[in-house]
């Protein structure tokens, strides 16, 4: 299933002229950043199903500046 989603994301990126290898990793981390910005770390921890907030915190800093730029444009 992940392969199908990754393939679809790459096709969408190409069709939109986005020169970036989009995949589920980027989608998950972008979603996490958006939830964090709106609801905070503790809500995000629950949504993601993490046992530790330390795990959740890793999702807030793991995307490159290029990935953040592209995903902010797409999701805003």
User: Looking at residue 54, what DSSP letter applies?
Assistant: H
The widest CA-to-CA distance across the chain, in whole angstroms, is 38
Share of residues in the chain with pLDDT > 70 (%): 76
For residue 61, the tally of other CB atoms under 10 A from its CB is 8
DSSP labels for 14-43? HHTT--S---HHHHHHHHHHHHHHHH-HHH
**Mean pLDDT computed over 12-30:** 80
Asked if residue 39 has pLDDT above 80, the reply is yes
pLDDT for the residue 30: 77
C-alpha angle 4-33-29 in degrees, rounded to nearest 5: 30
Asked if residue 63 has pLDDT above 60, the reply is no
Does the predicted TM-score (pTM) go above 0.85? no
């Amino acid at each position: 299933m992940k392969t199908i989603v990754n393939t679809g994301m790459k096709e969408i990126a190409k069709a939109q002229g986005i020169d970036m290898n989009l995949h589920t990793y980027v989608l998950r981390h972008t979603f996490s950043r958006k939830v964090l910005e709106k609801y905070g770390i503790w809500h995000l921890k629950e949504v993601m199903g993490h046992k530790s907030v330390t795990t959740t915190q890793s999702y807030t800093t793991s995307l490159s500046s290029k990935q953040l730029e592209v995903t902010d444009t797409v999701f805003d």
